[in-house]
Amino acid sequence: MTDESIQRRTFLATIIGGACALFGVALGFCGLQFLLHPLRSGKQSRKKQRIASLDGVSSDIPLRVVVQADRWDAYVHHPPGPIGTVWLTRDDSDLSDPSVRCFQAACPHLGCGIDYAADRKAFLCPCHVSEFSTDGSRRLGPSPRGMDELPVTITPPDKDGKRWIEIEYAEFMTGVALKKQA
């Protein structure tokens, strides 16, 4: 075997070895992404979600919104569906800069759905009659705290002049679950 053919073989072996190493790294990266997907999808549900237009919320009466999102069950992707319900309230005391607050509709006591009673201007939980003011604070009943509040962003006007309400949806532990954990 000549020196030249030995050099050529060495060169080819180096190229093939390098390509195999690169392929292995790419394969490992894809596998890691796949394995970590359920962990990352939990974070994705806390991304900002656009749930209503600012014009759609009145300062007279809170707006109930069913929040929709993509759902992941471990590695199985389900199309967008309801993941929870929130209440939006609007304050127009500064007309040039209206503010919106968002409250989780699950009662902090045992998780029942909270309704709005227009005649009392209050949020009411029908299960064990907890009552909350429109600012979410607890008025009466067994709920261990006021309604749980979610962060809200109002977007700047889009090309049609519309402003949108975006929230970071989250669920909170009920008072009973917290007691069990203590």
Binding site for ligand FES (CB under 6 A): 107, 109-110, 112, 125, 127-128, 130, 141-143
CB of 114 to ligand FES, least distance (A): 7
Q: How far apart are the first and last CA of the chain?
A: 78
CB of 116 to ligand FES, least distance (A): 14
150/130 Cα distance (integer angstroms): 20
Please identify, using beta-carbon distances, which residue of 57 and 132 lies nearer to ligand FES: 132
CB of 38 to ligand FES, least distance (A): 30
Please identify, using beta-carbon distances, which residue of 71 and 139 lies nearer to ligand FES: 139
CB of 112 to ligand FES, least distance (A): 4
58/47 Cα distance (integer angstroms): 25
Please identify, using beta-carbon distances, which residue of 125 and 150 lies nearer to ligand FES: 125
Please identify, using beta-carbon distances, which residue of 56 and 141 lies nearer to ligand FES: 141
Sign of CA dihedral 73, 74, 79, 83: positive
Sheet holding 122-125, edge to edge: 115-117, 122-125, 130-132, 138-140
* Beta partners for residue 73, in sequence order: 76
